[in-house]
Amino acid sequence: FTTLSPSFLPTSLSSSLPPLKSTPDNSDYDFSPTSGSQPALITNNNSDVWVPQRSRPRRNRKSQAVRDMVKENLVTPANFIYPLFIHEESFNTAIESMPGCERHSLDHMLVEVEEAMRYGVKTFVLFPKVPDELKTNLGVEAYNPNGIVPRAVSMIKDKFPEATVCTDVALDPYSDQGHDGVVSDGKILNDITINQLCKQVICQARAGSDVVAPSDMMDGRVGAIRDALDSEGFTDVSILAYTAKYASAYYGPFRDALDSHPGFGDKKTYQQDPSNGREALIEAMLDEAEGADMLMVKPGMPYLDIIRRLKDNSNLPIAAYHVSGEYSMLKAAVEKGWLDEKDVVLETLTCFKRAGADIILTYYAKQAAKWMAEDGLY
Ligand SMILES: NCC(=O)CCC(=O)O
Ligand SMILES: [Mg+2]
């Protein structure tokens, strides 16, 4: 008996079949039966020892080539959406709670897009930091055609027409209340907000946005946005719906980045309760019926079960948002020397795929794509 080597591979089908008896019948072997359900331990004259068993899952892990052949899920840079923070300044500003991320000047945003595209990232989503003096309850700056987002979209589309640009649809960056909708008497008004969001979407579409991504969690906004786009002739603009967006503590660093912490209270009357799973399926059914092209779950890692449930219950592409808090947790542990950054990030992104995500929004997009390129993967 010899241990595992390439030469053990069968030369014919019949020789590959294991013996039908539960133990080999070979007088060369010293057979020591064991009791109960314990497998018998076999020792031959050379003192090689094995437990007879037909299935050995380790055979499919025995070399990198075999592991690559049987790999079920593969992440590629084309799966990524790279979120970019932008501001009106002529310089970049580091974001303290998100090491490695910056608020980009519009000029530098183009550099960042170009670099990421060199590594195969093709899709971007923009998040603006809006000066306080432009913030109002109605968030009217959200549909200023000369606002920072429409200008940024046309800059990217002019220079990189092949890039896909997504725009965030919600009032929070523009709201003096720090909420995703219009506020009255401490309440977030659903339908008046939808009206504002439709104006925002049309403004973004006119600037060249390829995909509008409503992140506000108002009821019925996907259908209203679809109708607004179509009635303006933007039938090719896609909707990436933040379908299951949870009221999560993992957004903290993002709100630092944009100075968009809620002005009062929290977002629990519109974002979902982290305790709930079935509710995400209601949201998914509605968004699909209202014309969403893609469904998103947010945050990502703590909500892999929700990604899987949406995947199993919808035929639309599913996106996962690996949010700021998840990014910052990894960065902090890496900075402490407690985790290997490349290994843990690539594992994390692969796990999103395995859970059912087709699309992954991650602040690691450029870096991960660069690692993949260095490894000769893409
Ligand atoms: N609407 C976009 C977000 O809220 C992002 C959250 C994050 O990255 O924490
Ligand atoms: Mg909804």
* 214-231 pLDDT per residue, tens: 999 999 999 999 999 999
What is the whole-number distance in angstroms between the Cα of residue 218 and the centre of ligand 2? 6
ipTM associated with this complex: 0.94
Q: What's at 376, amino acid-wise? A: G
Closest ligand to residue 223's CA: 2
Q: Where are the alpha helices (DSSP H) in the chain?
A: 13-16, 64-70, 106-118, 148-159, 190-207, 221-231, 252-258, 278-289, 304-313, 324-335, 341-355, 365-374
List per-residue pLDDT tens for the chain, 378 residues long. 444 443 443 444 444 445 444 444 444 544 455 555 666 677 776 777 878 888 999 999 999 999 999 999 999 999 999 999 999 999 999 999 999 999 999 999 999 999 999 999 999 999 999 999 999 999 999 999 999 999 999 999 999 999 999 999 999 999 999 999 999 999 999 999 999 999 999 999 999 999 999 999 999 999 999 999 999 999 999 999 999 999 999 999 999 888 888 999 999 999 999 999 999 999 999 999 999 999 999 999 999 999 999 999 999 999 999 999 999 999 999 999 999 999 999 999 999 999 999 999 999 999 999 999 999 887
pLDDT at residue 148, rounded to an integer: 98
Q: Relative to the CA of 215, which ligand 1 atom is closest?
A: 1
pLDDT at residue 37, rounded to an integer: 60
What is the whole-number distance in angstroms between the Cα of residue 258 and the centre of ligand 1? 10
Closest ligand to residue 257's CA: 1
Selection from 358, 334, 357 nearest residue 344 by Cα: 334
What is the whole-number distance in angstroms between the Cα of residue 280 and the centre of ligand 2? 9
Beta bridge partners of 321: 361
Selection from 116, 140, 172, 173 nearest residue 363 by Cα: 116
Nearest-CA residue for ligand 1 atom 4 is 251
Q: Specify the 3-state DSSP secondary structure of 322.
A: strand
Q: Residue 164 carries which DSSP code?
A: E
pLDDT at residue 128, rounded to an integer: 97
- Check if 298 is active-site: yes
Edge-to-edge strands, sheet with 49-50: 30-32, 41-43, 49-50
Taking the C-alpha atoms of residue 78 and residue 369, their distance in angstroms, rounded to an integer, is 9
What is the whole-number distance in angstroms between the Cα of residue 288 and the centre of ligand 2? 10
Nearest-CA residue for ligand 1 atom 6 is 251
Task: Reply yes or no: is the peptide bond before residue 253 cis, omega within 30 of 0.
Answer: no
Ligand 1 pocket (Cβ < 6 Å) reads 168, 215, 251, 254, 323-325
Q: What is the pTM of this model?
A: 0.88
Nearest-CA residue for ligand 1 atom 1 is 215
- Check if 157 is active-site: no
Structure tokens of 87?
Answer: 């501001």
Selection from 332, 372, 317, 333 nearest residue 349 by Cα: 372
